[in-house]
């Protein structure tokens, strides 16, 4: 028995000592001759019964007692004797009266600690002691439910006094506690009906916290898996990707929710789905919560190819609300196909103020890179981007996220290995990694036309889903579920997409103005505000892409062709890779120059080197576009 009275030494202390049993104490925790605090629970003519703990009580014999039920009293244990197969406790009045000036010493049982991972149906009905960290607190209409995690597993602890009343309000998420209670089964899962939950003292807390941290760190370490393709860039990125995988796995085992934000196109959706399919099985396996995949994982699209302030404000609001209402830890933020650019800095610095841990997996141009770091590295915890290791945007975020997902959960490898090819085709990426991904997809039954069809339909469907993640629909489109339904859905969507694109091109193509510069670049201009249908698919960005692709198909991919489509306060730019490679064109650098030379235009935007957007104030449209065109005109091979 761990009994504080045996180790409580008070030299030169003359105050009387009165012991207080915690609710889990049994008769064997009593000491004859010692005084204890108790509560009178029943009064008879021959005396009254005093409750000393949840299951320990004694009788103080006295004629016509003056005490009443509910009175607190200090009593002395006179005798403990067997009676009819059990032990009776005889009490007497203590010399010390309740409320006198005395020292109280708490007594608790020394129940051997049971690792949560060792609990099973064989323990049902037995009293156990567990120690662990509170990772969630939920107040139900009945008990308060504490989710407790130790180095071996996670379980639920139910604490109840009155329906809907918060038990142990002094306890918070992250506290290290000892739980004493009875093992039960709830909804097929092991649960403990608590008798007592107490915070550990500082020494025990530090020791257990280190044990748990070490165990989770070891468990979160991802297996070494081979990449789907051979790639020098991926090899260089492996340390950061493994760190990202470990961070995500640790969040799962640590009881933290995961918030995935991704760009809302074929590449970004591919990235989000891949991580989702890696994480959800682990959540189901690790959590006692039957709805864990809904409570601890959220995937949301970002319309812009960067993390906007609008996004972060919503995310922080929901996260802080969940923390307050449901006792959840702040989430791990995972940004896919966005997060790397200067435009992301405002939102990410905002989230950092609240202590949000974040991972970025992106392939957009991050600006100047020095010693493997870009501007955004000041605001995120793990940053994966090909540019950081001398790569470029042709290795897409979708491909990176699929490789990351396989690190997180190798079981999904066969299910998602065709997806990088869809992301590559959707983003018009061309590199030797893409060639290998296309070969993998071909073995899975997807030729280039099939991949283009999937990517097109994903973009088409996403336009109408708006801000919904479309989990079930996208699973079908990417071939992650019913293949027959996938083919049927692709046929339906492709037919409608083709019709709408054709309508848009009929309006746009006759109004494209072509300019041929002396440097050999062909610039195609279109006012999408005047010569394209509004508020329908394809939107201005996609319309620009379709116009550009049609011109390139006629002229050839090896020609230096750029398409500039503008509205009153924006422009969308698409160009062939020749302009990037031969003319060293980078849209992001041009925008930076416009910002410097026409600061009053409020220019903003960016993206890939030859595909992105430019925003400005409407009144300075002419000056901004004139400067942009002049920059293109002056490019040299």
**pLDDT tens digits, one per residue of 233-250:** 999 999 999 999 999 999
Q: What is the DSSP letter of 337?
A: S
pLDDT of the residue at 292: 74
423-437: average pLDDT: 95
85 falls in which pLDDT band (50, 70, 90)? confident
d(CA 157, CA 383): 38
Per-residue pLDDT at 256 exceeds 80: yes
**pLDDT tens for each residue of 360-384:** 999 999 999 999 999 999 999 999 9
136 falls in which pLDDT band (50, 70, 90)? confident
Per-residue pLDDT at 511 exceeds 60: yes
Lowest-pLDDT choice from 290-304, 468-482, 495-509, 558-572: 290-304
519 falls in which pLDDT band (50, 70, 90)? very high
285 falls in which pLDDT band (50, 70, 90)? confident
pLDDT of the residue at 630: 97
Q: What percent of the chain has pLDDT over 70?
A: 97
**pLDDT tens for each residue of 577-634:** 999 999 999 999 999 999 999 999 999 888 889 999 999 999 999 999 999 999 999 9
Per-residue pLDDT at 288 exceeds 70: no
Residue with token string 């079908």: 476
Q: How many CB atoms lie within 10 A of CB 535?
A: 5
The model carries a pTM of 0.81
Phi-psi region of 252 (alpha: psi -120 to 50; beta: other; left: phi over 0): alpha
pLDDT of the residue at 145: 93
Residues whose CB is less than 8 angstroms from the CB of residue 466 and which lie 6 or more positions away in sequence, other chains included = none
248-269: average pLDDT: 94
The answer to whether 183 and 148 are in contact (CB under 8 A) is no
Greatest mean pLDDT among 124-133, 157-166, 493-502: 493-502
Residues whose CB is less than 8 angstroms from the CB of residue 438 and which lie 6 or more positions away in sequence, other chains included = 421, 424, 448, 451
Exposure b/e, 313-347, CB count within 10 A at least 16 = b: eebbeebeebbeeebbbbbbbbbbbbbbbbbbbeb
587 to 227, 573, 584, 598, 629: CA distances (angstroms): 31, 8, 10, 16, 12
Report cis status (omega within 30 of 0) of the bond before 193. Answer: no
Task: For 579, list phi and psi in degrees, rounded to 5.
Answer: -65, -35
* Beta-carbon-side half-sphere exposure of residue 107 (alpha carbons within 13 Å): 24
pLDDT of the residue at 138: 87
Per-residue pLDDT at 2 exceeds 60: no
Per-residue pLDDT at 328 exceeds 90: no
* Mean of pLDDT over the chain: 92
SS (H, E, C) 384-415: ECHHHHCCCCCCCHHHHHHHHHHHHCHHHHHH
Residues whose CB is less than 8 angstroms from the CB of residue 94 and which lie 6 or more positions away in sequence, other chains included = 18, 35, 74, 75, 76
pLDDT of the residue at 323: 78
pLDDT of the residue at 541: 86
β-pair type (127-139, 176-186): antiparallel
93 to 58, 76, 77, 81, 96: CA distances (angstroms): 12, 6, 9, 18, 8
User: Which residue from 377, 385, 293, 284 is spatially nearest to 338, judged by alpha carbons?
Assistant: 385
DSSP 271-291: HHHHHHHHHHHHHHHH-S-TT
């Amino acid at each position: 028995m761990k009994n504080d009275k045996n180790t409580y030494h008070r030299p030169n202390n003359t105050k009387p000592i009165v012991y207080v049993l915690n609710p889990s104490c049994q008769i064997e925790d009593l000491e004859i001759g010692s005084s204890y605090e108790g509560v009178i629970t029943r009064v008879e003519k021959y005396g009254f019964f005093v409750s000393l703990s949840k299951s320990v009580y004694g009788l103080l014999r006295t004629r016509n007692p003056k005490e009443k039920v509910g009175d607190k009293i200090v009593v002395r244990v006179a005798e403990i004797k067997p009676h009819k197969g059990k032990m009776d406790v005889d009490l007497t009045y203590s010399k010390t009266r309740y409320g006198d000036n005395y020292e109280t010493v708490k007594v608790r049982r020394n129940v051997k600690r049971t690792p949560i991972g060792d609990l099973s149906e064989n323990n049902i009905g037995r009293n156990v002691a567990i120690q662990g960290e509170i990772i969630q607190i939920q107040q139900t209409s009945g008990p308060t439910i504490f989710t407790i995690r130790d180095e071996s597993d996670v379980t639920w602890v139910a604490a109840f006094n009155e329906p809907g009343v918060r038990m142990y309000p002094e306890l918070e998420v992250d506290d290290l506690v000892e739980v004493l209670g009875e093992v039960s089964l709830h909804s097929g899962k092991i649960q403990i009906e608590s008798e007592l939950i107490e915070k550990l003292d500082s020494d025990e807390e530090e020791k257990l916290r280190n044990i748990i941290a070490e165990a989770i760190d070891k468990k979160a370490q991802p297996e070494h898996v081979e990449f789907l393709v051979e790639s020098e860039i991926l090899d260089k990125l492996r340390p950061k990707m493994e760190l990202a995988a470990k961070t995500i796995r640790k969040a799962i085992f640590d009881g933290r929710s995961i918030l995935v934000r991704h760009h809302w196109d074929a590449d970004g959706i591919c990235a989000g789905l891949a991580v989702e399919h890696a994480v959800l099985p682990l959540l189901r396996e690790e959590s006692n919560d039957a709805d864990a995949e809904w409570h601890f994982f959220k995937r949301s699209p970002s319309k812009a190819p960067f993390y906007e302030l609008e996004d972060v404000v919503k995310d922080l609001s929901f996260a802080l609300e969940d923390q307050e209402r449901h006792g959840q830890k702040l989430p791990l933020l995972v940004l896919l196909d966005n997060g790397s650019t200067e435009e992301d800095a405002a939102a990410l610095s905002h989230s950092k103020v609240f202590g949000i841990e974040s991972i970025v997996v992106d392939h957009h141009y991050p600006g100047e890179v020095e010693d493997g770091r870009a501007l955004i590295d000041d605001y995120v915890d793990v940053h994966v981007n090909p540019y950081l290791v001398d790569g470029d945007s042709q290795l897409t975020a979708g491909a990176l996220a699929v490789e990351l997902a396989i690190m997180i959960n190798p079981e999904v490898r066969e299910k998602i290995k065709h997806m990088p090819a869809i992301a590559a085709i959707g983003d018009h990426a061309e590199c030797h990694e893409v060639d290998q991904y296309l070969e993998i997809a071909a073995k899975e039954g997807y030729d280039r036309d099939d991949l283009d069809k999937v990517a097109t339909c994903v973009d088409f469907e996403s336009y109408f889903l708006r801000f919904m993640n479309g989990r079930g629909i996208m699973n079908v489109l990417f071939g992650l579920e019913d293949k027959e339904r996938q083919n049927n859905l692709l046929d339906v969507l492709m037919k409608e997409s083709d019709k709408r694109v054709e309508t848009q091109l009929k309006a746009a193509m006759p109004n494209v103005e072509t300019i041929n510069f002396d440097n050999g670049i062909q610039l195609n201009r279109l006012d999408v505000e005047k010569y394209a249908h509004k508020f329908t698919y394809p939107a201005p960005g996609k319309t620009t892409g379709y116009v550009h692709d049609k011109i390139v198909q006629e002229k050839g991919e090896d020609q230096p062709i750029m398409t500039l489509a503008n509205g009153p306060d924006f422009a969308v730019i698409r160009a062939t890779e020749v302009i990037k490679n031969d003319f060293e064109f980078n849209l992001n650098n041009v925008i930076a120059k416009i910002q410097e030379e026409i600061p009053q235009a409020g220019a903003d935007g960016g993206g890939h080197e030859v595909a992105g957007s430019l925003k400005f104030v409407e009144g300075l449209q002419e000056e901004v576009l004139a400067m942009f065109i002049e920059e293109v005109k002056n490019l040299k091979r």
